[in-house]
Structure 1
């Protein structure tokens, strides 16, 4: 079978941009238009699914299953997880162009790299999720590497004065080390007001950055949320959950605004999502009632 079946053909011929906008949003659709020419090995399966490679920051395996009522169920190996991605939109538009010029869309070769990647990615996700659950149930912690063991032995062999001198030197040469030491002391002493104010300021600065990446030129600007996530987790572990929720609420509002304006492959959304997972994990320890926690 070298052409899509009647369901795919019928739906694609009736499709217009309003339908795509309703599904993915105008911004994602506009970005998807720019990726149509980067759709490769477009093919289809017997269950009304379009599949293809789409080149972005990397090469992504993308599939879009078309329902009989015209709805879409997409999957993509790109990091974007906030709804349909531009690669999925590009696959639909590429298929529509094929039909318009009466070009054949072949059936997917299940043994091809594309077929194996799409099938293997689902199996790998299932395996990883199962292993995470098994590790959590067993309570095992990752074993120390040989390098970590050697470093620990080296530090244990040094005197108090030598360790103090080493920390001072590291703090002088690496500002982030100094920041970590100061913030750790603030957490340990319970004087976290300055830390919370600094973290709120950092969230405002990070969410105000332009988030973009041009994969063709290999250049861009992606905000780094690693310190925000680390400090949110540290605050939660020390019991300052209400402060974590306040910061998380601000990150949610301003972060969504940043994501709406971003032009990357979902890296910014994933970074903010990682921070918010830490906030949600801390929620049960807050002073909110169960019903308020649910609403939050």
Structure 2
């Protein structure tokens, strides 16, 4: 019982940095969006000190989050990605929101359908385009040196006009690229006031997020 309480207590002490170290900033961002949209339901505590919930995605999934033998966060989900996905992140953020507002989280019943689903027989192994685009498997951490070299060769063979067109297209598809370019322009021109103001606003927004811990 003590170990179980300790595991549950550890969830309450999680920070945004902890979540990003676990699953990466892109997955955390998507999980945060899911939680904000109210897509997490039926949050409950498990007998081993973990958490379980329903999460509405492309389909309705169930996920469980706990701690592995090394004391690290670990999750399993019925979505195609199965492990450490945005659905698990959304559930942890939902728990932090409950903890912050002193809302009770019930115990999961032993005959709960979600426990059966997570045993493996009903895991969804079909990847559709929406899930591929949404889950963030294009994270920069998975780009190998060989792939980066191929990109360098590809770009070096383009004309200035072709590069500008490519950047325009990528900026439309990935707004963060346009923001990065704008930030670089402001830095080069020495106009940092806009950047400072935006950073202050983002810091304030982070401080208002559920479960934020100042440590």
Match of residue 103 from structure 1: 103
Q: Which has the higher contact order (CA 8 A, sep 6+)?
A: 2
TM-score by length of 2: 0.52
Match of residue 64 from structure 2: 63
Aligned residues: 135
Residues 218-257 of structure 1 mapped to structure 2, 5 A cutoff: none
Residues 1-296 of structure 1 mapped to structure 2, 5 A cutoff: 5-36=4-35, 37-67=38-68, 70-80=71-81, 84-119=84-119, 122-123=120-121, 213=130
TM-score by length of 1: 0.39
For residue 80 of structure 1, report the CA deviation from its aligned partner.
Answer: 2.0
For residue 49 of structure 1, report the CA deviation from its aligned partner.
Answer: 1.6
Q: Which blocks of at least 5 consecutive residues in structure 1 are unaligned?
A: 126-210, 223-248, 255-260, 263-296
Q: Which blocks of at least 5 consecutive residues in structure 2 are unaligned?
A: 135-145, 152-172, 175-215
- Asked whether the 8 Å contact 1:44–1:106 carries over to 2, the reply is yes
Question: Compared with structure 1, are the counterparts of its residues 98 and 113 closer, same or farther at alpha carbon in structure 2 (3 Å cutoff)?
Answer: same
- Asked whether the 8 Å contact 1:33–1:90 carries over to 2, the reply is yes
Question: Compared with structure 1, are the counterparts of its residues 10 and 117 closer, same or farther at alpha carbon in structure 2 (3 Å cutoff)?
Answer: same
Indicate the RMSD between aligned Cα atoms, in angstroms.
3.7
For residue 221 of structure 1, report the CA deviation from its aligned partner.
Answer: 8.0
- Asked whether the 8 Å contact 1:21–1:29 carries over to 2, the reply is yes
- Asked whether the 8 Å contact 1:52–1:61 carries over to 2, the reply is yes
For residue 212 of structure 1, report the CA deviation from its aligned partner.
Answer: 6.4
